[in-house]
Structure 1
Amino acid sequence: MKKVAILLVCSAMLTACAPEVGSKDWCENMKEKPKGDWTANEAKDFTKHCIFSSDEE
């Protein structure tokens, strides 16, 4: 049980460090990630935020 708790805490800490979807850092990370590893949601978000983004927002 203790190992599961440690694993959950570590996972939460790593997730908290991920850049926000649509941010410049997130777009850069996605450009480096192999396209075959993208999920459908990641592809949709990349298109929306990194390709068709508006600088006026």
Structure 2
Amino acid sequence: MKKFIGVVIVGMLLAGCAPKIGSEEWCNAMKEKPKGDWTATEAKDFTKHCIF
């Protein structure tokens, strides 16, 4: 049980390190990510924040 809780905590900490949507780092990361792996929300956010 302790291992499970540890994994959950580490996962939450790593998720907190993701760049903010719309930031330059996020736009660059999305440009590197294959377009087929984008979700509909990611595509919408990329268009809204990185193109316009």
* TM-score, normalized by the shorter chain, greater than 0.5: yes
SS in structure 2 of the partner of residue 42 of structure 1: helix
The TM-score normalised by the length of structure 1 is: 0.86
Instruction: Give runs of ≥4 in structure 1 deviating > 4 Å.
Output: none
The CA deviation at 1:23 is 0.3
Give 1:4 shift. Answer: 1.3
Partner residue in 2 for 1:46? 46
How many positions carry a matched residue from both structures?
Answer: 52
Q: How does 1:1-57 map to 2 (within 5 A)?
A: 1-52=1-52
Structure 1: gaps spanning 5 or more residues: 53-57
Which has more helix, going by share of residues? 2
Aligned partner of 1:36: which letter? G
Kindly state the Cα deviation for residue 40 of structure 1 after the two structures are TM-superposed: 0.5
Give ranges in structure 2 of 5+ residues lacking alignment. none
Choose between structure 1 and 2 for higher RCO, CA contacts under 8 A separated by at least 6 residues: 2
Q: Distance in 1 between matches of 2:32 and 2:24?
A: 13
Q: What displacement does 1:31 show?
A: 0.1
